[in-house]
């Protein structure tokens, strides 16, 4: 049973560009959350998707947007990239909103030059 998968593993972009990161949840999970982990910091919650809708959002600007597909996979889009967006982006999945544990993928490391 595959766990949470993310693609790509690494990405290099320049300031002002746009990026799309992808996440496939663990089998049986229908809720996907995204986190940003800057170097030397703990992960910070970006937003969560359930039933193809954004259910909760952290303190991130509108440049960060997402989508969830009918198969529960999800995308994170970041527009107008800034140097400060360089981070490890983690996707986590869980089986619904019943207080279940979130399981994390390996992350996508984004470097903005």
CB 72 within 8 A of CB 30: yes
Q: Is 35 near another protein (CB under 8 A)? A: yes
Site for another protein in 60-89 (CB under 8 A): none
Nearer to another protein, 52 or 100 (CB): 100
Q: Residue with structure tokens 């597909």?
A: 69
CA dihedral 9, 100, 49, 84 (to 10 degrees): -50
- Minimum Å gap between C-beta 64 and another protein is 14
User: Where do contacts with another protein occur on this chain (CB under 8 A)?
Assistant: 4, 31, 33, 35, 40-45, 48, 55-56, 58, 90, 92, 97-107
């Amino acid at each position: 049973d595959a766990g949470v998968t993310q693609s790509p593993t690494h990405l290099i972009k320049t300031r002002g560009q746009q990026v799309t990161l992808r996440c496939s949840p663990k089998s049986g999970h229908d809720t996907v959350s995204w986190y940003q982990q800057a170097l030397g910091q703990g992960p910070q919650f970006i937003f969560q998707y359930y039933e193809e809708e954004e259910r909760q959002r952290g303190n991130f600007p509108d440049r960060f947007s997402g989508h969830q597909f009918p198969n529960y996979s999800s995308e994170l889009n970041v527009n107008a990239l800034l140097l400060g967006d360089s981070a490890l982006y983690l996707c986590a999945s869980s089986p619904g909103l019943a207080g279940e544990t979130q399981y994390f993928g390996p992350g996508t490391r984004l470097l903005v030059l």
